[in-house]
Structures are given as C-alpha cells and as structure tokens.
C-alpha cells in the first residue's frame, strides 16, 4: 500500500494540481488495424479519500455493451442510437486478462460481473473485484491490468470504420467511491452504473499517462498533450505518448487519412479590451479573472472536408473565447477536433477531455449549424461534464442542459439569427418557404412543448419515458428553463450564477440541489418555487387571455336622486347629446391559468390611441379579472409579450387583439413554427 502511494506521488510531483487526484492511469497499448483490437497494459492507482475501509473495487467495462444483444444497452436501445444502427456482424467487447495488485497477489479470479441497476444477469458492463485486504482511509492501491479491447463497427461514440478508429470508453475504468455526504450518498459505496442506452459517464479526476503504438502512416489525436513519438522502421510503426492531468477520461483516434493542422488560440488578438470590459460589468469578475491563456487548437480533418477548415477553427475560437470570458479560462494546453469520415457518423458529436468529435457532410449549407453548432456544443462539454464533473447517469441536465443553454448563448452571440436546419442540396429550405430565422430559444422551446410533461428533468437516464423524453429533458427543456430563469432574474444575475457555479464546483461532483442552493445564494431570492415546478416537477405552465371587452358606457335611463334633488334621464336627452358627450368605456380583461404551474407574469395593454400600460399578476389564482373605466378602447392585450417565459405551453393564447389588427395570424404562425421544427425532417 505504501509503495502504491509513493508511485502516485511521484507521478504528480512538480505539477500544481487543479483537482484532487484520486486516480492515476499509466496505459501502454497497441492498435491492430486488421483485427480491430487494442491490446496492452494498464497500471491504475486509486486513492481512498473516504473514511471507510474499502474491500471491493468496481470497474466500468463499457465496451461489453456491444458484445451481444443481451446487454442492457442493446436491450434498451434495440441496437440504435442517435439514428445510428449497430452492426450485427462485428461486435465489440473488453477482456480483462490479468489483474494483479502491484507487489501482491493476483486477483483475476475474484472478478465477477454485477448489475446494480437492473436484473439483467447477462449484462457485463460492471465488474466487481474483491480484495484480499481492505484499503484503509487515505491509503492507495495500484493494480496491474492486462486487457484486450475489441472495437465494434462505429456505434454509440466508439469503434472503427474501415481504417478510421475512434477509441472511446475502451479501458477498464474504475468507478467513483462516494463517501457518506458526497452528492446524495447517505452511506459509503460505489457509484458505478451499467452502460445504458440513455446515459453517458461519471468518473474521478486524476492523471493519464498513455502510450499508443499504431502503424507508421497513421495520424493520431488524443486527450492531453503529445510528449514524444518514436518511429520503429522495422515494424512500420510508431509509438506516441500523451499526458494529461486533471481529467477523468482518456480517448483517442487514429486514421491514415486525417489532414492534421494546428493553430494557436491567441486571446491577445481574438479578445478585445471592450469585450473583457463588457463581460466584467456583466459578471462582476475582476480584470485578472478575464485573462485567457493561449491554447493549441488541433484539427484532424477528412480530406474531402478540408475546405471547411476555417469554419471549424472559427467555431472553436468562439467556444474558447466566450466560455472562457463568461465562466472561466480553459486551463489545458490543447484541444483537438476530430472530423469523422462518411459512414462513421456514430463517432460524431461527442466530447472527451481535451478532445471532441464534430461531424459534417459532403455539402453542408453555408448558413446551417453544421459544423459550427456541433463544435461549440462539444467544446462546451469541456466545462459542463469535463471540469464541472456532474454525474451524467443520474443528472444529465447538469451537463447536457447547461451546455445547451451555454451553446445557445455562444452561437447567438457569434452567429446571430440563423435558418432552421432544413436544407435540400445546400439550399436553406426554411428560408425559401418563408419560415423566419430563429435563435436557440425557439428550437429548445419547440422540443419542450412535445415532451414537457412526461418526466421531471432530474431522473436516472435509463428511467425516462422514452429516448426522446430523455433527450428533451436533458437538452432542450433545461435550455429553455435556464433561459427563462435568466429572463426572470436578469442577465447580470444569471451570468454571476453561472460563473460562480463553474468557479466553485470545477473539478468536483456537484448535484442539482447544489445548483438550487447556489441560485438562491447568488440571486438573493428564494427560487425554490422555480425548481420545485420546473426541475423536480412535471406540471404544465400555461396562461391565456380568456376575455377582453371595451364596452361603451351610455347614460342610464331613469329617475335618480342626486344631492337631494330628483333628476330624470330620458332617451331623447341621450340621443340629443350623444355627439357632445366624451366617450367613456368599461374595460374588462380576464386572464386564466390553465396549467398547474405558477409563474409571475407581466401583461402589456395597448389602447386605440397608442398608449401602453403594463400590469403584473402573481399568477397564483386560477383567474383574475380587471375592470376599470377609460376614454379609449383596448386594442391589444399581451401576456409576456417578449416571450421571456419560454416554458409557457402556448404563445398562441397569450394575446388578444382587436379584429382590425392582423397580429393573431402572426401569433398562430409563430406557434406553428415551433411544431414544424419537430415534425419536418
């Protein structure tokens, strides 16, 4: 045990760690392109940071999700993910051939497969290893592991296509031991879920020192920074070493066809003093906190997509710039972008520490979101999942939803309004048929409208109603609710919330409850009502203008006693003076809450003479009726006219307009647009 701790200390000596180094991996493997295998050795050091004595270790063996149709992943997905189909001819798996405690006994025979999430005894994506001696508090253990990983045809983020290899979730990876008080844990235990169709990953931070041997003509990209390359002319191979601290995963790619280019993100040239000043005012961050560092941007591009090089670099620069300014500087030396080839789309649109996969097509539209939005989104995961290490199995919105929100802000800032992603032979069909350009808010809201009531936002990834519900409640609905929160609290408050969240919890494992407390703290308001309804609940929000009238007030006929004297109002007198009497109207507005959720709303009243008036309603009661008198008719009544409450179930019933105003058609057209986004291919 002491020797293991010494090894760990030597590995990280001389480096200012940004995270608590709980794990240290030293991996040396070789790629066999013909057999589609990665074979080698892993030396893993794990440190027990709890007060418990730990007698069992648990490992993720993710590739076993693809070894047969009986795995939980394949049962749940039916062999399909994100439009990609698993091959039924070429399976993937991982075999642990030897596991031995460094300087101690072999524990290979104590390995057994467990399935903590379901009753599928055929699932082999989690392995438990019983130890001959428990690891005490503060102690470390080093395991020497020989393993073989057989890659499937590209599917679900990993695999091969011809001579392209995307090697993700490929090595025996230790789970997270949560002590009592960590996240939601009440007692100590392993958080090591099976690989499900609708989940991603969760791991501890540490050090990765990885050596890869590949054919000599292959171009390689990987997590971290390349330290060395050694050519072996005799075997027509080369060996590359990559190193990175303060990350929780390692992925790599290799292909003989990549065109590798590299540029430097230069904040001195790409970030202006005015932009820093504006962000400083918005977030309250001091000038020194807004100083970004240079970053090596590496692009591995398919030859047929080389003409899109500038688009990729510009998108990555925008990510580095705005995520860095708004939340905090990117701390790593490099970031690598990978462009998968045609036929390997399943490897696209994915994030790993310091390495992202984008993805494009033979003819992407010049105004579309491919590849810009993909690059920005996947880079954003360096923050939400990469550095703020939330549990993607259990609270996917904290990475995907936060990133959807953040990506939308970057893309809106850098690219402005854009067409819906509807193209035919490069032609923006949406614009051609008259559909207006949109922002990310429109897209997120459109998805939320379809699946906003099926599940709460927070749920284990494999327990949502469907894959589509998982996607909506992990990505688009959280994007809409965070933007609604921003609209309610104000942009400066929300900017401080997000920056504080990153600053406080980077290289930690926070929860949704942590975010809720932080929002209350930074905003100075009790926002529990917001979280109870829109994060933890499934009820619907919808306010509507139920009825509006402007009834002209006519003198009432009859006999009246006024100041002790009787007066009579006759019809003849009314008719005689009707043109002399100034008009007066009884104005009535009735608003209705149709959903179960409550949200304070603003209402804009517009009169015939152009005058506007704003009123507020706390929205608690089922309805409210306002009655008053005025000298002008109402022309328009609008609930939330700026559409700040993106969670409102229907914008179409948020307004009433006099018959002569064409605005209702625009309102219905706007609502129809949201549905078209989800229906059209």
Q: What mean pLDDT do residues 191-207 have?
A: 96
First to last CA, the chain: 58
Which of 573 and 624 is assigned the larger pLDDT?
A: 624
Instruction: Give the confidence band of 363 by pLDDT, cuts at 50, 70, 90.
Output: low
Q: Are 94 and 148 in contact (CB under 8 A)?
A: yes
Q: What is the pLDDT of residue 557?
A: 78
Q: What is the pLDDT of residue 666?
A: 45
pLDDT at 126 over 50: yes
Beta bridge partners of 670: none
Instruction: Give the confidence band of 432 by pLDDT, cuts at 50, 70, 90.
Output: very low
Strands 206-215 and 237-247, sheet pairing: antiparallel
- As a whole number of angstroms, the distance between CA 221 and CA 240 comes to 10
Across all residues in the chain, what is the average pLDDT? 89
Q: What is the pLDDT of residue 632?
A: 95
CB atoms within 10 A of CB 252: 26
323-354 per-position pLDDT tens digit: 999 999 999 999 999 999 999 989 999 999 99
pLDDT at 541 over 60: yes
Which of 438 and 229 is assigned the larger pLDDT?
A: 229
For residue 113, the number of C-alpha atoms closer than 13 Å in the C-beta half-sphere is 20
Which of 673 and 566 is assigned the larger pLDDT?
A: 566
Distance of alpha carbon 366 from the chain centroid: 25
Evaluate the CA torsion angle 351, 352, 356, 358 in order and state its sign. Answer: negative
Closest CA to 23 of 186, 177, 235: 177
pLDDT at 8 over 80: no
Q: List the Cα angle 471/313/246 in 5-degree steps.
A: 65
Q: What is the pLDDT of residue 599?
A: 97
Radius of gyration of the chain (CA): 30
Evaluate the CA torsion angle 301, 305, 307, 311 in order and state its sign. Answer: negative
Q: What is the pLDDT of residue 473?
A: 93
User: Who's near 430: CB < 8 A, 6+ residues apart?
Assistant: 419, 420, 422
140-186 per-position pLDDT tens digit: 999 999 999 999 999 988 999 999 999 999 999 999 999 999 999 99
Q: What is the pLDDT of residue 14?
A: 44
Q: What is the pLDDT of residue 569?
A: 79
Instruction: Give the confidence band of 673 by pLDDT, cuts at 50, 70, 90.
Output: very low
pLDDT at 427 over 60: no
pLDDT at 423 over 70: no
pLDDT at 580 over 80: no
**Strand, helix or coil at 292?**
coil
pLDDT at 387 over 90: yes
- As a whole number of angstroms, the distance between CA 110 and CA 100 comes to 11
pLDDT at 540 over 70: yes
Instruction: Give the confidence band of 568 by pLDDT, cuts at 50, 70, 90.
Output: confident
Distance of alpha carbon 433 from the chain centroid: 31
Which of 414 and 669 is assigned the larger pLDDT?
A: 414
Q: What mean pLDDT do residues 254-276 have?
A: 97
Q: Are 269 and 40 in contact (CB under 8 A)?
A: no
Q: What is the pLDDT of residue 361?
A: 60
Query: 């939320």: which residue's tokens?
Result: 448
Q: What is the pLDDT of residue 365?
A: 47
Instruction: Give the confidence band of 447 by pLDDT, cuts at 50, 70, 90.
Output: confident
Q: What is the pLDDT of residue 453?
A: 75
In percent, the amount of the chain with pLDDT more than 90 equals 78
Instruction: Give the confidence band of 627 by pLDDT, cuts at 50, 70, 90.
Output: very high
Q: What is the pLDDT of residue 439?
A: 67
């Amino acid at each position: 045990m002491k020797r293991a701790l010494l090894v760990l200390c030597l590995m990280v000596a001389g480096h200012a760690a940004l995270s608590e180094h709980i794990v240290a991996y030293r991996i040396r493997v070789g790629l066999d392109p013909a057999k589609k295998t990665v074979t080698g050795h892993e030396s893993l050091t794990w440190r027990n940071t709890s007060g418990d004595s730990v007698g069992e270790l648990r490992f993720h063996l993710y590739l076993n999700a693809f070894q047969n149709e009986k795995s939980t992943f394949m049962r749940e997905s039916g062999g399909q993910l994100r439009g990609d189909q698993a091959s039924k001819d070429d399976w993937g798996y991982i075999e642990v051939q030897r596991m031995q405690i460094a300087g101690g006994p072999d524990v290979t025979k104590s390995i057994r497969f467990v399935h903590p999430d379901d009753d599928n005894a055929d699932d082999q994506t989690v392995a438990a290893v019983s130890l001959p001696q428990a690891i005490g508090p503060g102690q470390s253990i080093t395991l020497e592991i020989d393993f073989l990983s057989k890659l499937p045809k590209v599917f679900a983020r990993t695999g091969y296509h011809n001579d392209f290899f995307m090697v993700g979730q490929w090595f025996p990876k230790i789970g997270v031991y949560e002590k009592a008080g960590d996240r939601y844990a009440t007692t100590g235990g392993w958080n090591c879920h099976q690989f499900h169709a609708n989940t991603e990953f969760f791991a501890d931070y540490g050090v990765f020192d990885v050596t890869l041997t590949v054919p000599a003509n292959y171009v390689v990209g990987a997590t971290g920074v390349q330290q060395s390359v050694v050519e072996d002319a005799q075997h027509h191979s080369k060996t590359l070493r990559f190193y990175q601290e303060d990350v929780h995963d390692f992925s790599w790619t290799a292909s003989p066809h990549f065109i590798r280019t590299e540029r430097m993100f230069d904040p001195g040239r790409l970030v202006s003093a005015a932009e820093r000043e504006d962000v400083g005012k918005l977030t309250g961050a001091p000038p020194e906190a807004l100083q970004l560092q240079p970053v090596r941007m590496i692009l591995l591009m398919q030859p047929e997509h080389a003409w899109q090089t500038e688009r990729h670099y510009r998108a990555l620069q925008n990510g580095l710039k705005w995520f860095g300014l708004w939340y905090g500087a990117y701390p790593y030396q490099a970031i690598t972008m990978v462009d998968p080839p045609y036929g390997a789309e399943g490897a696209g649109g994915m994030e790993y520490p310091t390495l992202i996969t984008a993805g494009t097509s033979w003819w992407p539209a010049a105004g579309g979101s491919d590849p810009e939005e993909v690059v920005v989104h996947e880079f954003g995961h360096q923050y939400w999942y990469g550095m703020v290490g939330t549990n993607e199995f259990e609270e996917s919105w904290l990475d995907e939803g936060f990133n959807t929100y953040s990506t939308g802000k970057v893309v809106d800032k850098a690219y402005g309004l854009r067409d819906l992603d509807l193209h035919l032979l490069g032609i923006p069909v949406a614009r051609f048929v008259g559909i207006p350009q949109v922002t990310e808010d429109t897209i997120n809201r459109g998805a939320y409208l379809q699946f906003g009531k099926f599940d709460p936002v927070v749920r284990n990834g494999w327990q949502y109603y469907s894959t589509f519900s998982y996607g909506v409640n992990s990505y688009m609905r959280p994007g809409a609710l965070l933007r609604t929160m921003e609209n309610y609290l104000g942009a400066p408050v929300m900017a401080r919330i997000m920056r504080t969240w990153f600053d406080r919890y980077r290289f930690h494992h926070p929860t949704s409850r942590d975010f809720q407390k932080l929002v209350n703290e930074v905003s100075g308001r009790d926002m529990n009502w917001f979280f109870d309804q829109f994060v933890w609940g499934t009820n619907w929000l919808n306010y509507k203008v139920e009825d509006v009238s402007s009834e002209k007030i006519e003198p009432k006929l009859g006999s009246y006693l006024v100041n002790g004297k009787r007066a009579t109002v006759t019809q003849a007198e009314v008719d005689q003076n009707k043109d002399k009497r100034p008009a007066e109207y009884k104005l009535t507005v009735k608003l209705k809450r149709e959903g179960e959720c409550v949200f304070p709303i603003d209402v804009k009243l517009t009169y015939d003479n152009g005058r506007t008036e704003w009123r507020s309603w706390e929205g608690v009661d089922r309805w409210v009726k306002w009655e008053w008198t005025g000298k002008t008719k109402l022309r328009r009544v609008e609930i939330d006219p700026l559409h700040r409450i993106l969670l409102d179930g229907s914008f179409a019933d948020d307004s009433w307009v006099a018959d002569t105003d064409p605005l209702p058609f625009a309102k219905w057209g706007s609502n129809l647009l949201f549905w078209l986004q989800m229906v059209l291919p």
